[in-house]
């Protein structure tokens, strides 16, 4: 096995760099599709959780608690083998999309719920007094204000989702981790463990770190804006 300082190992990694690029592209594709599914699920569940109707809040709560309190890797395996044994023919890639979407949908739902509940309840009362129903209140008054509040935690969910694509390796996905593993165990490329995994980690870092910084910056801006608004109200009083 070549060490991390082996010029031969780094030469092989460079020669087969397309393997890592393709893995990264597949990881980003899984993340984008998984995020789209998670956003739809999260928005629906977030609205259900804040509807005030037990028939809607209870199913939303059950979904969130189940998916948040079981490992993603277990959910991936269960969905993959459950579909396989039931005779449903579906590709590993699609199983990955669905698994990521279902899992992160629970977290997005919590972000949406918290964002909606952060809006002063008086705005709901004001909307009702003006004749708005629940749907119009959400669409025209509550959700536009919620967006700026949930952006930072939503970006954090994107980062988490990108990193969690590594769980698809367990079912033979073509993500970055799977591509890296296939590379280091390949007949002609095997042995370059250190350089290969360093490159894989660096690619994850290059994608995730800027997003994490962006989320932190947005959060600091929102806090500074809220603090300034509070100080202005205090001075006016």
Question: Which residues, in sequence order, are CB contacts of 47 under 8 Å at separation 6+?
Answer: 112, 116, 138
pTM of this prediction?
A: 0.85
- Note the pLDDT of residue 193: 82
Rounded distance between C-alpha atoms, residue 96 and residue 79, angstroms: 9
Rounded distance between C-alpha atoms, residue 149 and residue 88, angstroms: 41
- Note the pLDDT of residue 233: 58
Percent of the chain with pLDDT over 70: 93
Residues 75-86, mean pLDDT to the nearest whole number: 89
Q: How do residues 165-193 score in pLDDT, each as one tens digit?
A: 999 888 887 789 988 888 888 877 777 88
What the block records as the tokens of 177 is 């981790």
- Note the pLDDT of residue 185: 85
Strands (E), the chain: none
Q: How do residues 35-79 score in pLDDT, each as one tens digit?
A: 999 999 999 999 999 888 899 999 999 999 999 999 999 999 999
Residues 201-208, mean pLDDT to the nearest whole number: 93
The larger pLDDT score, comparing residue 184 to residue 224, is at: 184
DSSP 69-101: SS-HHHHHHHHHHHHHHTT----HHHHHHHHHH
Rounded distance between C-alpha atoms, residue 30 and residue 232, angstroms: 45
């Amino acid at each position: 096995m070549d060490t991390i300082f082996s010029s031969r190992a780094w030469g092989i990694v460079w020669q087969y760099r397309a393997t890592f690029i393709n893995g990264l592209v597949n990881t980003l594709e899984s993340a984008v599709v998984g995020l789209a599914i998670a956003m739809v699920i999260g928005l629906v569940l977030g609205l259900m959780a804040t509807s005030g109707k037990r028939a809607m809040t209870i199913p939303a709560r059950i979904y969130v608690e189940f998916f948040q309190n079981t490992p993603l890797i277990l959910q991936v395996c269960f969905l993959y083998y459950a579909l396989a044994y039931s005779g449903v023919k579906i590709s590993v890639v699609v199983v990955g999309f669905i698994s990521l979407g279902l899992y992160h949908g629970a977290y997005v739902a919590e972000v949406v719920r918290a964002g909606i509940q952060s809006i002063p309840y008086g705005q709901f009362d004001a909307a009702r007094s003006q004749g708005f129903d629940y749907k119009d209140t959400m669409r025209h008054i509550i959700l536009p204000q919620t967006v700026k509040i949930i952006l930072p935690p939503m970006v954090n969910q994107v980062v988490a989702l990108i990193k969690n694509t590594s769980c698809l390796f367990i079912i033979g996905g073509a993500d970055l981790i799977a591509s890296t593993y296939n590379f280091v165990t390949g007949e002609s490329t095997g042995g370059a463990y250190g350089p290969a995994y360093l490159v894989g980690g660096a690619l994850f870092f290059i994608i995730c770190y800027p997003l994490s910084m962006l989320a932190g910056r947005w959060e600091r801006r929102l806090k500074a804006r809220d603090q300034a608004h509070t100080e202005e109200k205090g001075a006016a009083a």
